A and B are shown apart, each in its own frame.
Chain A
Amino acid sequence: MSQVSPGPPRMGFFTDTSVCIGCKACEVACKEWNAIPEDGLNLTGMSLDNTEKLDANTWRHVAFIEQRKPLAFQEPGVRHTGPVPDLATPPAEAPMTPMTPGEPGDLRWLMASDVCKHCTHAACLDVCPTGALFRTEFDTVVVQADVCNGCGYCIPACPYGVIDQRKEDGRAWKCTMCYDRIGDGLQPACAKACPTESIQYGPLDELRERASERLDTMHAAGVTDARLYGDDPNDGVGGTGAFFLLLDEPEVYGLPPDPVATTRDLPAMWRHAALAAAGLVGAGVIACLRSS
């Protein structure tokens, strides 16, 4: 459950993939701002995506998906007749860029910038034993590098596979929604850079309203497979602070269709933990006073 505290409204990202041009400004702006290490040269063969996934050194990742599908009334101008390989073939073994099968001659190219979801029910935060992960006054989820001891519990807990351990220092890293910037009233680096406002930052309520309007526009324009992802407070993670307008099933973008917080049953366990903590505190305070 998120904190109910006075202060700023819950802030979030709305990533409208229908206007993403795949420029990767978000990836670079994020790395520049957060001084994230460059992580190697690897031509993946997955369309123009050479980043592959979110990890300790990639907090924004732009996916490129080539599909034999029409984009509403777009005329793609390509002519192909042959079959496309099974999507399950690993890119390294595939005879071509992975491609969603469909009618020959149809082509659309989806691009989407993925990021930490800043879940309402954030399993990573729930399992963190050191308090390195915490929920900010903006209702975002941030890992504190100076507290993290590298235990790694958070990593399997994340239903999206976002948070990750950095080999060089052993600690866990992920998107902070630029906690330092938003605390000073600035936009996160990725949203600031995004040339086409595919990444929008703001109060979550406003973003959800805007997203719903955008979805209506898309449907009216014939993009009937457009959908929102992460906007539902009743989903397995209680809705996300970073949500998306997608043009296909979430799996197509490498997103879980039905994410569930791995720690959904934790609240019942909390009462026991709280009692134990109170006992420890009493002992600690006494010890402190004596030593002074």
Chain B
Amino acid sequence: MAVRRWLKAWPVFRQLRGEDPSGRGEAAKSRHTAELRARVSTADEVVKSICPYCAVGCGQDVFVKDGRVIHIDGDPDSPISRGRLCPKGSASLQLTTGPGRWYEVLYRRPYGTEWERLGLDEAMDMIADRVIETRRQGWQWEENGVRVRRTMGIASLGGATLDNEENYLIKKLFTALGAIQIENQARI
């Protein structure tokens, strides 16, 4: 059986048998070619998304297979983009899965000359301690005799590339901590 299959697949056999006497069409197809499918067609899941670059807000379809993103395409349903993407949007797969991504926490100690590795949990703990301490150091109940209830020790910048829900938590947390120097790209 194997031989027959092999024979059927043999280009020259197909060339003689089929309607492709020049051997440059169907007969020349390799098995790989014959079985070729668009990888988006065999994805486990299509997840609806929005392009992360500019504020046009183009729709994206994120194709997932075996727990990995295998392709990002324009979403044809979007009334804004109608499935199209610019070069940046088209590079979303490389942006999110490419060599530019960094996946480890790094730490530079004061006066240190190199990065060091630090666990995420430890880093979060250290940052929480820093916030508490700096907040207290920079605390003001009053300025010029008027109540201000704030800390001038801590500031934050960033948010225009983040989600609304993220900005909401940032504003909420820092305001409750008394930090007012909370800014983002919209100022710039």
Contacts and interface: CB of A to CB of B under 8 A. Distances in A.
B167 interface: no
Contacts of A292: 3
Interface string B140-169: 000000000000000000000000000000
B11 interface: yes
Interface residues of A, number: 47
Interface string A138-151: 00001010110000
A205 interface: no
B16 A126 contact: no
Interface string B29-42: 11011001111110
Contacts of B20: 3, 5
Contact of B90 (A25, A136, A146, A179): A25
B39 A28 contact: no
Contacts of B22: 1, 3, 270
Interface string B41-85: 100000000000000000000000000000111100000000111
A180 B7 contact: no
Given A5-B25, A125-B24, A278 B83 contact: no
A115 to B, nearest CB: 16
A133 B28 contact: yes
Contacts of B30: 144, 146-147
B24 A192 contact: no
A187 B89 CA distance: 17
Contacts of A128: 24
Size category of the B interface is 35 or more
A32 B12 contact: no
A181 interface: yes
A186 interface: yes
A183 interface: yes
B46 to A, nearest CB: 13
A193 interface: yes
A285 B14 CA distance: 13
Contact of A193 (B41, B90, B93): B90
B133 interface: no
A178 B87 CA distance: 18
A126 B84 CA distance: 36
20 contacts: A3-B26, A5-B19, A5-B26, A24-B87, A25-B85, A25-B87, A131-B27, A131-B28, A134-B33, A146-B32, A147-B28, A180-B36, A184-B40, A186-B40, A193-B86, A193-B90, A277-B12, A281-B16, A285-B7, A288-B3
Given A134-B25, A178-B38, A284-B12, 7 more contacts: A5-B26, A131-B11, A134-B27, A142-B33, A179-B33, A180-B38, A195-B84
Interface of B: 3, 6-7, 10-13, 15-16, 19-30, 32-33, 36-41, 71-74, 83-91, 93-94
